[in-house]
């Protein structure tokens, strides 16, 4: 048994040493990010349906005027493990959007549940024209396309705790760190606003402000921080829509493998009991 | 090795079949009765793990190929389609991606085992060389596979790595254009990479078959490095090692599942969730963790040597770092196989392991300042270990006395253990 222990600790150590921090797109000169407690982080992580619904509200009322979400279908908004809106509500919502279809006489038709979320701009050129030359990125996988670099050994701590929510932390910190004026001596372009998390100007003007979106009842604070948390959670769901079912299966798999491993260890020990080795 | 067969078909159908195609006899000889040293330890279990992971990769890969579209306009979305819309697609795709990392993790343990216990020495040179070929094929396959999602890291990784070939004098550019199917990485590149990514695992499987064949001619090595001398030294592969290997495979699947279900993206790069864009170069182009030591050695050469410029030098060093393994059996002439009996070898070996991990760390860092200097030192030691340390040690080292046989070493171990127990017990009674 002590030999086994030695081997497994050696294995664990070699994992710890072997996998270095991937160098990722962290802001070069910005201020230290504030990490959030995401409900979907860790092995028991799961989405908060109410938060996703609030996040969707912000996405729909604020973000979606410039940002697309081309991989999301209306039906996804009704599915388990997501915002879980009632189907009738999303059917109604979809019918308020138009899908361009040159085959039709009218050239367009109301969207149905199966349709993808329509892009706010027909072409990239149009999007850039409206946004001062900048292209608002699509939201579908954006929460996965950003990350906060963690240095050794914190990257191993993240692996050991299954924390891969660096993208959510990145987006939250971006949203809450807009400044009215750049710090003294920092030059930014005319059509940019200074963001102290990035430590530079960004073409997207501060999209959130207090009491911008009216939540239904329930006493959730109408602050920039709350909005940022909610919309980030929604963006993370868009990027990883099957997270809840995956983690649920994963827990069962882990329990199964642990019991199986224990049984196999006993089998092995029994078989070898009579053999000097 | 048919001497160890005790297959006696009694059923007439089995007998009839055996006389025409002795498939069952072969399986029994090689998968069940094969005489295996009694004393091989847990470091010898990675071979079975690797075989299983190869099967996992092939099965998940075939399923992914049913849904994947190798076209630059659709590849990224088709991978997302798998993750979002294919039943259990997120898990199948995650298993395949994490599986590549687990594959390399196991192969590195397997290779360092071989380096420590002298598994490359006569009569196992061919077995070792086949292993190096499998490793090369694995690297090629993982690189090709990484380009398929057609994200930013896919595209720029493909650009950087194919560019490596342009360093070859005279034929470099034609080779580069042949690999890419054009002047730049584009749709033809993706098509051929997909085709080759589907092909290579089956070639790996074939070389694995040769690898096992070459293993079953001399039989397994063991921690003493003393060859099997009598039946007392061995036990049948089944059930002793089948069950031991299966135990380790199940244990190995626990961290595997951990990554697949709870953090399938943590071993990858966020940049690969951005669609490939030939006009935007990522700030840092970094390969996957398992290729980093070799990437560090490629970048360590930033100086010209005579007529060899830095670029070509780096390429020579990178490929040389793997090809040197092929001639290792003739560089290390020490008659003693196992590191356990080589007191001078041991510290150099563990330094080699640490050096490899350091290179892995350096491969992910920006190529400037102290990192470049350390990369050069690491590269020098990597080659120095094979070209200087091992040949010299073979001449000057006095190995510890070897046991006469495997069974004798087992007996000694148990006697020593029993003596220790008595001693401890005695102290307790006083």
- The pLDDT tens digits for A195-231 are 999 999 999 999 999 999 999 877 899 999 999 999 9
ipTM: 0.92
Q: Is the peptide bond before B202 cis (omega within 30 degrees of 0)?
A: no
Distance, CA of B97 to CA of B289 (rounded, Å): 13
Are B348 and B385 in contact, with CB atoms under 8 Å apart? yes
Q: Is the peptide bond before B342 cis (omega within 30 degrees of 0)?
A: no
Interchain pair A23, B364: CB under 8 A: yes
Output the DSSP codes for B76-137. HHHHHHHHHTSTTHHHHHHHHHHHHHHHHHHHHHHHHHHHHTTTTSTT-HHHHHHHHHHHHH
Check whether A25 has a pLDDT greater than 50. no
Interchain pair B271, A25: CB under 8 A: yes
- Alpha carbon of A105: minimum distance to chain B alpha carbons (Å): 29
Distance, CA of A164 to CA of B275 (rounded, Å): 20
Closest chain B CA to residue A266: B247
- Alpha carbon of B26: minimum distance to chain A alpha carbons (Å): 24
Give the pLDDT band of residue B250 (cuts 50, 70, 90). Answer: very high
Minimal CA–CA distance to B146: which of B131, B161, B125, B164? B161
Q: Quick one: chain B helix, strand, coil %, rounded to 5?
A: 70, 0, 30
Cβ pairs bridging A and B (under 8 Å): 145
Give contacts of A76 with chain B, Cβ < 8 Å. Answer: 84
Check whether A13 has a pLDDT greater than 60. no
Closest chain A CA to residue B91: A246
Average pLDDT over residues B26-42: 95
Give the pLDDT band of residue B17 (cuts 50, 70, 90). Answer: very high
The string of pLDDT tens digits covering residues B364-422 is 999 889 999 999 999 999 999 999 999 999 999 999 999 999 999 999 888 888 888 87
Distance, CA of B361 to CA of B373 (rounded, Å): 13
Domains belonging to chain B, first-starting first, are 30-225+232-423 (1.20.810.10)
Are A171 and A239 in contact, with CB atoms under 8 Å apart? no
Three-state SS for A193? strand
Q: Tell me the β-bridge partners of A98.
A: A110
Interchain pair B240, A152: CB under 8 A: no
Distance, CA of A252 to CA of A243 (rounded, Å): 14
Distance, CA of B349 to CA of B203 (rounded, Å): 32
C-alpha distances (whole Å) from B165 to each of A200, B159, B168, B171, B182 are: 38, 11, 6, 9, 14
Which of A23, A246, A253 is nearest residue B90 as measured by Cβ atoms? A246
- Alpha carbon of A269: minimum distance to chain B alpha carbons (Å): 9
Q: Where is pLDDT greater, at A25 or A37?
A: A37
Q: Tell me the β-bridge partners of B37.
A: B234
Query: How remote is the C-alpha of B161 from its chain's centroid?
Result: 20
Give contacts of B274 with chain A, Cβ < 8 Å. Answer: 145
The number of CA neighbours under 13 Å toward the Cβ of B394 is 17
Distance, CA of B170 to CA of B242 (rounded, Å): 52
Distance, CA of B26 to CA of B18 (rounded, Å): 10
Strands B234-236, B35-37: pairing kind: antiparallel
Minimal CA–CA distance to B288: which of B271, B310, B305? B271
Distance, CA of B158 to CA of B346 (rounded, Å): 39
Give the pLDDT band of residue B425 (cuts 50, 70, 90). Answer: low
Give the pLDDT band of residue A16 (cuts 50, 70, 90). Answer: very low
Check whether B31 has a pLDDT greater than 50. yes
Are A140 and A117 in contact, with CB atoms under 8 Å apart? no
Q: Tell me the β-bridge partners of B35.
A: B236
Strands A108-110, A200-202: pairing kind: unpaired
Minimal CA–CA distance to A138: which of B309, B317, B77? B77
The predicted model scores a pTM of 0.92
- Alpha carbon of B411: minimum distance to chain A alpha carbons (Å): 8
pLDDT at B227: 95
Minimal CA–CA distance to A8: which of B41, B1, B83, B328? B41
Give contacts of A237 with chain B, Cβ < 8 Å. Answer: none
Interchain pair A264, B366: CB under 8 A: no
- Alpha carbon of B225: minimum distance to chain A alpha carbons (Å): 15
Interchain pair A276, B38: CB under 8 A: yes
Minimal CA–CA distance to B379: which of B359, B363, B354, B351? B359
Q: Tell me the β-bridge partners of A116.
A: A73
Compute φ and ψ for A76, nearest 5 degrees. -60, -30
Distance, CA of A77 to CA of A53 (rounded, Å): 9
Minimal CA–CA distance to B63: which of B83, B93, B99? B93
Interchain pair A162, B244: CB under 8 A: no
The DSSP output letter for B185 is: S
């Amino acid at each position: 048994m002590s030999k086994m222990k030695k081997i497994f600790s050696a294995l664990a150590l070699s994992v710890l040493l072997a996998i270095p921090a991937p160098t990722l797109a962290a802001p070069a000169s910005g201020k230290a990010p504030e990490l959030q407690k995401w409900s979907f982080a860790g092995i028991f992580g799961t989405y908060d349906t109410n938060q996703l619904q609030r996040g969707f509200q912000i996405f729909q009322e604020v973000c979606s005027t410039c940002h697309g979400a081309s991989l999301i279908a209306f039906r996804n908004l009704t599915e388990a493990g997501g915002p879980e809106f009632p189907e009738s509500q999303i059917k109604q919502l979809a019918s308020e959007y138009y899908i361009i279809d040159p085959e039709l006489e009218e050239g367009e038709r109301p969207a149905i549940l199966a349709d993808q979320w329509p892009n706010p701009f027909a072409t990239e050129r149009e999007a850039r024209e409206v946004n001062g030359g900048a292209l608002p990125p699509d939201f579908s996988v954006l929460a996965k396309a950003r990350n906060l670099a963690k240095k050794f050994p914190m990257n191993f701590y993240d692996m050991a705790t299954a924390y891969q929510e660096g993208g959510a932390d990145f987006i939250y910190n971006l949203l809450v760190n807009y400044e009215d004026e750049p710090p003294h001596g920092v030059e930014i372009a005319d059509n940019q606003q200074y963001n102290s998390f990035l430590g530079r100007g960004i073409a997207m003007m501060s999209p959130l402000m207090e009491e911008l979106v009216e939540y239904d009842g329930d006493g959730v604070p109408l602050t920039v921080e709350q909005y940022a948390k909610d919309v980030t959670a929604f963006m993370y769901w868009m990027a990883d829509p099957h997270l809840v079912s995956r983690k649920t299966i994963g827990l069962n798999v882990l329990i199964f493998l642990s019991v199986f491993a224990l049984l196999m260890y006993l089998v092995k020990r029994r078989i070898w009991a009579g053999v000097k080795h | 090795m048919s001497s160890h067969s005790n297959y006696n078909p009694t059923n007439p159908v089995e007998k009839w079949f055996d006389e025409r195609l002795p498939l069952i006899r072969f399986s029994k000889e090689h998968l069940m009765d094969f005489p295996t040293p009694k004393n091989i330890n847990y470091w010898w279990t990675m071979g079975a793990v690797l075989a299983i992971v190869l099967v996992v990769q092939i099965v998940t890969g075939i399923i992914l190929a049913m849904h994947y579209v190798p076209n630059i306009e659709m590849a990224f979305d088709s991978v997302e389609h798998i993750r979002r819309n294919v039943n259990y697609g997120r898990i199948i795709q995650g298993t395949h991606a994490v599986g590549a990392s687990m594959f390399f993790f196991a192969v590195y343990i397997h290779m360092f085992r071989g380096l420590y216990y002298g598994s490359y020495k006569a009569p196992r040179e061919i077995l070792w060389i086949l292993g190096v070929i499998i490793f090369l094929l694995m690297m090629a396959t993982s690189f090709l596979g990484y380009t398929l999602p057609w994200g930013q890291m896919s595209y720029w990784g493909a650009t950087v790595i194919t560019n490596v070939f342009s360093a070859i004098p005279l034929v470099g550019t034609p080779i580069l254009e042949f690999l890419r199917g054009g002047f730049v990485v584009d749709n033809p590149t993706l098509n051929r990479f997909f085709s080759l990514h589907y092909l290579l695992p089956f070639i790996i499987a074939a070389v694995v078959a040769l690898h096992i064949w070459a293993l079953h001619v001399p039989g397994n090595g063991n921690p003493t490095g003393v060859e099997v001398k009598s039946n007392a030294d061995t036990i049948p592969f089944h059930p002793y090692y089948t069950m031991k290997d299966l135990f380790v495979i199940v244990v190995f699947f626990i961290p595997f599942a951990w990554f697949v279900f709870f953090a399938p993206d943590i071993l990858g790069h966020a940049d690969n969730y951005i669609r490939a864009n030939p006009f935007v170069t990522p700030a840092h182009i970094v390969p996957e963790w398992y290729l980093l030591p070799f990437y560090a050695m490629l970048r360590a050469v930033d100086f010209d040597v005579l007529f060899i410029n830095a670029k070509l030098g780096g390429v020579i060093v990178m490929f040389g770092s793997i090809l040197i393994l092929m001639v290792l059996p003739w560089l290390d002439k020490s008659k003693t196989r196992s590191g356990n009996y080589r007191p001078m070898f041991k510290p150099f070996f563990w330094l080699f392991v640490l050096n490899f991990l350091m290179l892995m760390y350096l491969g992910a860092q920006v190529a400037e300042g102290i990192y470049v200097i350390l990369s050069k030192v690491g590269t020098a030691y990597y080659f120095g270990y094979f070209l200087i340390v091992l040949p010299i040690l073979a001449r000057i080292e006095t190995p510890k006395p070897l046991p006469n046989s495997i069974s004798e070493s087992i007996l000694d171990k148990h006697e020593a253990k029993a003596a220790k127990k008595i001693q401890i017990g005695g102290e307790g009674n006083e």
